[in-house]
Amino acid sequence: MFRRQIKDREQWSERALAQQSELHHLAMERSHAELLAWRDLTDRIVEQRDITASLAQRAVEGLAQAKRIIEQRDNTIVDCTILLAVLLRSEKPAFRALLTQRLPPHTRAAIDFVIGDIDGRIARGELSDQSRPPTP
């Protein structure tokens, strides 16, 4: 009977160790599967971050290009406004008003400012008056 108890305990102990080993193996498999899932999720997050960063960089570059284009157009508009002011400066004020009446108010104001600036520089001797035809 004593031997039977020892044998039963040994069998129980062997089963318990086998069961513990199986549980440990299952826990390791589960941990490994969770680790792979987290790694996959991390890889997808990094990929999304890279895509987002690329899109953001392209947007910044697009905005910078749009800004350059707008600045170029603004500069062209300013140049044309100055040229128009120089051309209109040689006209009589009534005819000048007739020619500029359909222009936006800010453009008319810019033309008047440029004409005033040119006249002021001529009066101060900073420019020579070559735009007006000589008066007889």
Please state the length of the chain: 136
Residues 32-68 pLDDT 10s: 999 999 999 999 999 999 999 999 999 999 999 999 9
pLDDT digits (tens, 9 = 90+) for 81-118: 999 999 999 899 899 999 999 999 999 999 999 999 99
Domain boundaries, the chain: 2-123
pTM, two decimals, is: 0.57
- CA nearest 88: which of 76, 77, 101, 73? 101
- What the block records as the tokens of 69 is 């284009």
